[in-house]
Protein backbone atom coordinates (compact mmCIF):
# COMPACT_ATOMS: atom_id res chain seq x y z
CA UNK A 1 0.00 0.00 0.00
CA UNK A 2 1.29 3.43 -0.93
CA UNK A 3 2.58 5.45 2.02
CA UNK A 4 0.11 8.19 2.86
CA UNK A 5 1.66 11.58 2.49
CA UNK A 6 1.25 14.45 4.90
CA UNK A 7 -0.83 17.32 3.54
CA UNK A 8 1.17 20.17 2.06
CA UNK A 9 2.13 22.21 5.12
CA UNK A 10 1.36 25.43 3.27
CA UNK A 11 -2.31 24.71 2.60
CA UNK A 12 -5.40 22.73 3.46
CA UNK A 13 -7.69 22.00 0.55
CA UNK A 14 -10.80 21.51 2.68
CA UNK A 15 -12.23 22.23 6.10
CA UNK A 16 -14.70 19.93 7.83
CA UNK A 17 -16.47 21.79 10.63
CA UNK A 18 -17.43 19.34 13.37
CA UNK A 19 -20.13 20.62 15.76
CA UNK A 20 -21.07 17.95 18.32
CA UNK A 21 -22.67 19.84 21.20
CA UNK A 22 -24.80 22.70 19.87
CA UNK A 23 -28.20 21.03 20.08
CA UNK A 24 -30.60 21.14 23.04
CA UNK A 25 -33.07 18.75 21.37
CA UNK A 26 -33.95 15.24 22.46
CA UNK A 27 -35.37 12.65 20.04
CA UNK A 28 -39.17 12.89 19.73
CA UNK A 29 -39.65 9.53 21.46
CA UNK A 30 -37.53 10.56 24.48
CA UNK A 31 -39.29 11.14 27.80
CA UNK A 32 -36.90 14.03 28.46
CA UNK A 33 -36.54 17.49 27.03
CA UNK A 34 -34.39 20.53 27.74
CA UNK A 35 -37.04 21.63 30.28
CA UNK A 36 -36.17 18.65 32.48
CA UNK A 37 -32.53 19.63 32.79
CA UNK A 38 -31.02 21.11 35.92
CA UNK A 39 -29.14 24.38 35.49
CA UNK A 40 -25.82 22.56 35.99
CA UNK A 41 -26.75 20.27 33.10
CA UNK A 42 -27.89 23.10 30.84
CA UNK A 43 -24.48 24.75 31.23
CA UNK A 44 -22.91 21.85 29.33
CA UNK A 45 -24.63 22.62 26.03
CA UNK A 46 -22.54 24.54 23.47
CA UNK A 47 -25.42 26.83 22.52
CA UNK A 48 -25.32 28.49 19.09
CA UNK A 49 -21.99 26.94 18.07
CA UNK A 50 -23.62 25.69 14.85
CA UNK A 51 -24.45 29.31 13.97
CA UNK A 52 -21.12 30.68 15.13
CA UNK A 53 -18.96 28.25 13.20
CA UNK A 54 -20.94 27.10 10.16
CA UNK A 55 -21.27 29.52 7.24
CA UNK A 56 -24.84 29.89 5.97
CA UNK A 57 -23.87 28.44 2.63
CA UNK A 58 -21.57 25.47 2.21
CA UNK A 59 -18.80 26.03 -0.32
CA UNK A 60 -16.58 23.73 -2.33
CA UNK A 61 -13.87 23.83 0.33
CA UNK A 62 -15.93 24.03 3.57
CA UNK A 63 -18.36 21.35 4.78
CA UNK A 64 -19.94 20.73 8.17
CA UNK A 65 -21.39 18.02 10.36
CA UNK A 66 -23.71 19.03 13.20
CA UNK A 67 -24.97 16.43 15.66
CA UNK A 68 -28.74 16.98 15.88
CA UNK A 69 -29.32 15.94 19.51
CA UNK A 70 -28.40 17.17 22.96
CA UNK A 71 -25.11 15.85 24.33
CA UNK A 72 -26.86 14.67 27.50
CA UNK A 73 -28.80 12.20 25.34
CA UNK A 74 -25.72 11.18 23.34
CA UNK A 75 -22.25 12.69 23.49
CA UNK A 76 -20.52 11.77 20.25
CA UNK A 77 -17.16 13.00 21.54
CA UNK A 78 -17.00 10.33 24.24
CA UNK A 79 -15.19 7.06 23.79
CA UNK A 80 -16.74 3.64 24.18
CA UNK A 81 -15.93 2.89 27.85
CA UNK A 82 -14.95 6.51 28.38
CA UNK A 83 -13.28 7.27 31.77
CA UNK A 84 -16.04 9.86 32.37
CA UNK A 85 -18.56 7.00 32.35
CA UNK A 86 -17.65 6.60 36.04
CA UNK A 87 -19.22 9.96 36.89
CA UNK A 88 -22.21 9.49 34.62
CA UNK A 89 -20.83 11.53 31.72
CA UNK A 90 -20.19 8.80 29.17
CA UNK A 91 -21.89 8.41 25.80
CA UNK A 92 -25.29 8.93 27.43
CA UNK A 93 -25.38 10.94 30.62
CA UNK A 94 -26.67 9.28 33.77
CA UNK A 95 -27.37 11.61 36.65
CA UNK A 96 -28.02 10.86 40.29
CA UNK A 97 -30.28 13.53 41.70
CA UNK A 98 -29.81 15.06 45.19
CA UNK A 99 -31.08 12.90 48.06
CA UNK A 100 -34.22 14.97 48.57
CA UNK A 101 -35.29 14.25 44.98
CA UNK A 102 -34.45 10.56 45.52
CA UNK A 103 -34.11 9.59 41.86
CA UNK A 104 -31.67 9.11 39.05
CA UNK A 105 -32.05 9.82 35.36
CA UNK A 106 -30.50 8.40 32.25
CA UNK A 107 -31.05 10.80 29.37
CA UNK A 108 -30.67 8.25 26.64
CA UNK A 109 -31.51 4.58 26.56
CA UNK A 110 -28.33 2.60 26.13
CA UNK A 111 -29.41 1.21 22.75
CA UNK A 112 -30.90 4.42 21.33
CA UNK A 113 -27.95 6.58 22.30
CA UNK A 114 -25.39 4.09 21.06
CA UNK A 115 -27.20 3.71 17.73
CA UNK A 116 -27.09 7.49 17.23
CA UNK A 117 -23.43 7.48 18.26
CA UNK A 118 -22.49 4.80 15.73
CA UNK A 119 -24.54 6.38 12.92
CA UNK A 120 -22.97 9.78 13.46
CA UNK A 121 -19.46 8.37 13.59
CA UNK A 122 -20.09 6.44 10.39
CA UNK A 123 -21.46 9.46 8.53
CA UNK A 124 -18.60 11.75 9.63
CA UNK A 125 -16.01 9.09 8.76
CA UNK A 126 -17.48 8.70 5.28
CA UNK A 127 -17.51 12.44 4.76
CA UNK A 128 -13.95 12.88 6.01
CA UNK A 129 -12.73 10.03 3.82
CA UNK A 130 -14.51 11.47 0.79
CA UNK A 131 -12.91 14.88 1.41
CA UNK A 132 -9.53 13.16 1.34
CA UNK A 133 -5.95 14.27 1.83
CA UNK A 134 -5.34 17.82 2.87
CA UNK A 135 -8.48 18.14 4.98
CA UNK A 136 -8.47 19.97 8.30
CA UNK A 137 -11.15 18.84 10.73
CA UNK A 138 -12.17 21.81 12.90
CA UNK A 139 -13.69 20.62 16.18
CA UNK A 140 -16.06 23.43 17.18
CA UNK A 141 -17.02 23.98 20.84
CA UNK A 142 -17.82 26.51 23.50
CA UNK A 143 -17.34 26.36 27.26
CA UNK A 144 -19.22 27.81 30.19
CA UNK A 145 -17.83 30.74 32.13
CA UNK A 146 -19.61 29.35 35.21
CA UNK A 147 -18.48 26.39 37.36
CA UNK A 148 -20.05 23.28 35.88
CA UNK A 149 -20.02 19.49 35.92
CA UNK A 150 -16.97 19.30 33.66
CA UNK A 151 -14.97 22.25 34.95
CA UNK A 152 -15.23 23.52 38.54
CA UNK A 153 -13.02 26.57 37.91
CA UNK A 154 -13.59 27.92 34.40
CA UNK A 155 -10.46 29.51 32.95
CA UNK A 156 -10.15 33.23 32.40
CA UNK A 157 -9.45 32.89 28.70
CA UNK A 158 -11.56 33.66 25.65
CA UNK A 159 -10.56 30.90 23.28
CA UNK A 160 -8.73 27.61 23.73
CA UNK A 161 -6.98 25.92 20.81
CA UNK A 162 -6.48 22.15 21.11
CA UNK A 163 -4.63 19.58 19.04
CA UNK A 164 -3.33 16.05 19.38
CA UNK A 165 0.17 14.80 19.81
CA UNK A 166 0.00 12.47 16.82
CA UNK A 167 -0.22 12.49 13.03
CA UNK A 168 -3.42 14.58 13.14
CA UNK A 169 -1.57 17.55 14.67
CA UNK A 170 -1.79 20.56 12.34
CA UNK A 171 1.35 22.04 10.86
CA UNK A 172 3.31 24.56 12.88
CA UNK A 173 2.23 27.27 10.43
CA UNK A 174 -1.42 26.48 10.98
CA UNK A 175 -1.07 26.61 14.77
CA UNK A 176 0.92 29.83 14.67
CA UNK A 177 -1.48 31.44 12.25
CA UNK A 178 -4.53 30.43 14.25
CA UNK A 179 -3.17 31.65 17.57
CA UNK A 180 -1.87 34.88 16.12
CA UNK A 181 -5.06 35.51 14.21
CA UNK A 182 -7.13 35.48 17.41
CA UNK A 183 -4.51 37.33 19.48
CA UNK A 184 -4.37 40.11 16.91
CA UNK A 185 -8.11 40.55 17.42
CA UNK A 186 -7.62 40.91 21.18
CA UNK A 187 -8.73 37.50 22.40
CA UNK A 188 -7.02 35.84 25.37
CA UNK A 189 -5.84 32.40 24.26
CA UNK A 190 -5.15 29.02 25.84
CA UNK A 191 -3.14 26.44 23.91
CA UNK A 192 -4.05 22.85 24.77
CA UNK A 193 -4.81 24.00 28.29
CA UNK A 194 -7.15 23.76 30.07
CA UNK A 195 -8.89 21.98 27.17
CA UNK A 196 -6.69 19.69 25.16
CA UNK A 197 -6.81 17.50 22.09
CA UNK A 198 -9.17 17.50 19.17
CA UNK A 199 -11.68 15.02 17.81
CA UNK A 200 -10.45 12.40 15.36
CA UNK A 201 -12.04 9.66 13.29
CA UNK A 202 -10.42 6.46 12.12
CA UNK A 203 -10.21 6.73 8.35
CA UNK A 204 -7.51 5.57 5.91
CA UNK A 205 -6.59 9.05 4.75
CA UNK A 206 -4.26 11.62 6.25
CA UNK A 207 -5.89 14.68 7.73
CA UNK A 208 -5.29 17.11 10.56
CA UNK A 209 -7.56 18.16 13.42
CA UNK A 210 -7.77 21.34 15.47
CA UNK A 211 -10.17 22.17 18.30
CA UNK A 212 -11.50 25.66 18.89
CA UNK A 213 -13.34 26.25 22.20
CA UNK A 214 -14.84 29.68 22.69
CA UNK A 215 -15.94 31.09 26.04
CA UNK A 216 -19.69 31.60 26.14
CA UNK A 217 -19.14 34.94 27.87
CA UNK A 218 -18.04 36.22 24.44
CA UNK A 219 -21.38 35.73 22.81
CA UNK A 220 -24.29 34.96 25.13
CA UNK A 221 -25.94 35.41 28.50
CA UNK A 222 -25.90 31.97 30.11
CA UNK A 223 -28.81 32.77 32.41
CA UNK A 224 -31.27 34.02 29.81
CA UNK A 225 -29.64 32.15 26.88
CA UNK A 226 -29.87 35.31 24.81
CA UNK A 227 -27.16 36.17 22.34
CA UNK A 228 -25.16 39.21 23.37
CA UNK A 229 -24.36 42.20 21.17
CA UNK A 230 -20.94 40.77 20.37
CA UNK A 231 -22.33 37.54 18.91
CA UNK A 232 -22.03 38.65 15.31
CA UNK A 233 -18.54 40.06 15.75
CA UNK A 234 -17.34 36.73 17.17
CA UNK A 235 -19.10 34.84 14.40
CA UNK A 236 -17.38 37.03 11.81
CA UNK A 237 -13.99 36.58 13.49
CA UNK A 238 -14.37 32.79 13.62
CA UNK A 239 -15.56 32.42 10.05
CA UNK A 240 -12.90 34.80 8.69
CA UNK A 241 -10.28 32.46 10.17
CA UNK A 242 -11.21 29.89 7.54
CA UNK A 243 -9.44 31.88 4.82
CA UNK A 244 -6.29 31.74 6.95
CA UNK A 245 -6.67 27.99 7.50
CA UNK A 246 -7.21 27.45 3.80
CA UNK A 247 -4.25 29.76 3.24
CA UNK A 248 -6.09 31.98 0.83
CA UNK A 249 -3.20 34.33 1.26
CA UNK A 250 -4.21 37.76 2.28
CA UNK A 251 -2.27 40.29 4.28
CA UNK A 252 -3.51 38.87 7.56
CA UNK A 253 -2.04 35.42 7.08
CA UNK A 254 1.15 36.70 5.48
CA UNK A 255 1.62 38.84 8.56
CA UNK A 256 1.04 35.85 10.83
CA UNK A 257 3.80 33.96 9.04
CA UNK A 258 6.55 36.27 10.21
CA UNK A 259 9.22 34.84 12.48
CA UNK A 260 8.45 37.30 15.27
CA UNK A 261 4.91 35.98 15.37
CA UNK A 262 6.21 32.43 15.65
CA UNK A 263 8.36 33.48 18.58
CA UNK A 264 5.37 34.99 20.33
CA UNK A 265 3.41 31.79 19.77
CA UNK A 266 6.17 29.65 21.22
CA UNK A 267 6.53 31.89 24.27
CA UNK A 268 2.91 31.17 25.08
CA UNK A 269 3.06 27.47 24.44
CA UNK A 270 3.27 25.01 27.35
CA UNK A 271 6.87 23.76 27.55
CA UNK A 272 5.96 20.10 27.10
CA UNK A 273 4.20 20.80 23.80
CA UNK A 274 6.93 23.14 22.57
CA UNK A 275 9.56 20.47 23.24
CA UNK A 276 7.50 17.95 21.32
CA UNK A 277 7.09 20.23 18.33
CA UNK A 278 10.80 21.10 18.35
CA UNK A 279 11.80 17.46 18.51
CA UNK A 280 9.58 16.68 15.53
CA UNK A 281 11.36 19.30 13.45
CA UNK A 282 8.34 20.23 11.36
ZN1 LIG B 1 -18.43 20.93 23.34
Task: Using the mean position of ligand 1's atoms as its centre, give its distance from the Cα of residue 207 in Å.
Answer: 21
Instruction: Identify the weakest region by mean pLDDT among 146-155, 232-241, 254-263.
Output: 254-263
77-109 pLDDT tens trace: 999 989 998 888 999 998 877 666 777 888 887
* pLDDT score, position 248: 61
> In angstroms, what is the span from residue 213 Cα to ligand 1's centroid?
7
Q: How many angstroms does the Cα of residue 91 sit away from the middle of ligand 1? A: 13
Geometric angle at alpha carbon 268, from 197 and 15, rounded to 5°: 40
Higher pLDDT, 270 or 30: 30
Averaged pLDDT for residues 29-51: 94
Whether residue 252 has pLDDT greater than 70: no
pLDDT of residue 280 exceeding 70, the answer is no
- In the Cβ-directed half-sphere of 62, how many Cα atoms lie within 13 Å? 18
Please tell me the distance between residue 13's alpha carbon and the centre of ligand 1 in angstroms.
25
Q: What is the DSSP letter of 83?
A: G
Higher pLDDT, 18 or 110: 18
Task: Indicate whether 204 pLDDT > 60.
Answer: yes
Say what the pLDDT of residue 97 is: 75
The residue ranges of every structural domain in the chain are 14-77+118-279
Which pLDDT band, with edges at 50, 70 and 90, does 162 fall under? very high
Cα(130) to ligand 1 centroid in Å equals 25
Those residues whose C-beta lies under 8 Å from the C-beta of residue 252, and which sit 6 or more positions away, are 181, 184, 243, 244
Residue 129: CB atoms within 10 A of its CB come to 15
Q: Give the span between the Cα atoms of 238 and 31, in whole angstroms.
A: 36
Q: What is the 3-state secondary structure (H, E, C) of 176-232?
A: HHHHHHHHHCCCCEEECCCCCCCCCCCCCCCEEEEEEEEEHHHCECCCCCCECCCHH
Q: How far is the CA of 21 from the centre of ligand 1 (A)?
A: 5
CA of 159 to the centre of ligand 1 (A): 13
Task: Report the separation in Å between the CA atom of 143 and the middle of ligand 1, taken as the mean of its atom positions.
Answer: 7
**Ligand 1 centroid vs 254 CA: distance in angstroms?**
31
Question: How much is the pLDDT for 186?
Answer: 97
Question: Of the ranges 18-27, 116-125, 271-280, which one carries the lowest mean pLDDT score?
Answer: 271-280
**Which positions ≥6 away from 197 have C-beta within 8 Å?**
162, 163, 164, 211
Predicted TM-score (pTM) of the model is 0.85
Contact present, 261 and 180 (Cβ < 8 Å): yes
The rounded Å distance from CA 184 to ligand 1 centre is 25
Quote the ligand 1 centre to 71 CA distance (angstroms): 8
Cα of 68 vs centre of ligand 1, distance in Å, is 13
**CA–CA separation, 231 vs 219, rounded Å?**
4
**Residue scoring higher pLDDT (16 or 102):** 16
Query: Is domain 14-77+118-279 annotated with CATH 3.40.630.40?
Result: yes
Residue 220 Cα to ligand 1 middle (Å): 15
Amino acid sequence: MKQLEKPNREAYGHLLLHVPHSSSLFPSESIYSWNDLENSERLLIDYYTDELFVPQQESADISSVVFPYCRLFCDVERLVNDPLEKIGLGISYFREMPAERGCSRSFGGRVEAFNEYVDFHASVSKKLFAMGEGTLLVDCHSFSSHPNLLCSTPPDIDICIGFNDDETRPSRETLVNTVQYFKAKGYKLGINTPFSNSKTYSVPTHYHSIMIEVNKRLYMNEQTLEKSDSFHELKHDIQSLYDVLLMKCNQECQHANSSSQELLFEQNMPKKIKNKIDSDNI
